[in-house]
Amino acid sequence: MNIAGSQEITIELDSVTVWRMISDVTRTSEWSPDVIHSVWLDPGPTVGARFESSNRMPIVRRWGSLSTVTAADPGRRFAFAVGSNPDDPNTTWTWDLEPTSEGTTVRLSYEMRHEPPIVLLYYQLTKRSERVRESVAATLRRLKAVAEGPTPDLGLAPPDA
């Protein structure tokens, strides 16, 4: 079972500011319906930095994940690998940003590469493929709402801070 896809949305904000928002993983719960909270284990957002997340899902309710940043190109790309081995991750998540005349086109891509058989059975029972598509769409809509909100907290610290 390979679960992969991507979706995009246009946000009326410059790409560097959007990148600063999405690369601050401590804010992910503001837009992702699956993330409860995330915390940096290493200084981030830089390639190789690790973070832990607490996530929600049907039946198991909560589970933890370890992720490693694999791309950190301000204004262009932020990506991370989920699992203990970033060279052979369970899942990859990639945010690609493209500046446009309207602001920024944000594309969120994912690929669930390999999971133990019991997890694959769980994914089938909970219709994970459908749920992740819905979650990605909701994440993009919520990110847009926060970014374009009347008084958004844009996380304007410099990207190398």
Q: Is residue 122 part of a domain?
A: yes
Count of domains in the chain? Answer: 1
Q: Is residue 160 part of a domain?
A: no
**What pLDDT does residue 148 have?**
93
Q: Are 139 and 33 in contact (CB under 8 A)?
A: yes
**What pLDDT does residue 2 have?**
67
**What pLDDT does residue 21 have?**
96
Q: Is residue 141 part of a domain?
A: yes
Report residue 107 as tokens: 């594309």
Q: Is residue 35 part of a domain?
A: yes
3-class state of residue 57 by DSSP:
strand
**What pLDDT does residue 39 have?**
97
**What pLDDT does residue 63 have?**
75
CATH number for position 12: 3.30.530.20
Q: Is residue 60 part of a domain?
A: yes
- Gyration radius of the chain's alpha carbons: 15
The tens place of each residue's pLDDT in the chain, 161 residues long, gives 568 899 999 999 999 999 999 999 999 999 999 899 999 999 999 999 999 999 887 566 687 899 999 999 999 999 999 999 999 998 899 999 999 999 999 999 999 887 667 666 766 666 666 777 888 999 999 999 999 987 655 554 444 44
Q: Is residue 158 part of a domain?
A: no
Gap between the Cα atoms of 35 and 13, Å rounded: 24
Give the domain range for residue 11: 3-148
Sorted by sequence, the CB contacts under 8 Å of residue 73 that are 6+ apart come out as none
Q: Is residue 104 part of a domain?
A: yes
Q: Is residue 154 part of a domain?
A: no
Gap between the Cα atoms of 136 and 133, Å rounded: 5
What is the amino acid identity at position 111? Answer: E
**What pLDDT does residue 120 have?**
66
Least Cα distance to 78 among 153, 30, 28, 3 occurs for 28
Give pLDDT tens digits for 56-100. 875 666 878 999 999 999 999 999 999 999 999 988 999 999 999
**Stated pTM of the model:** 0.85
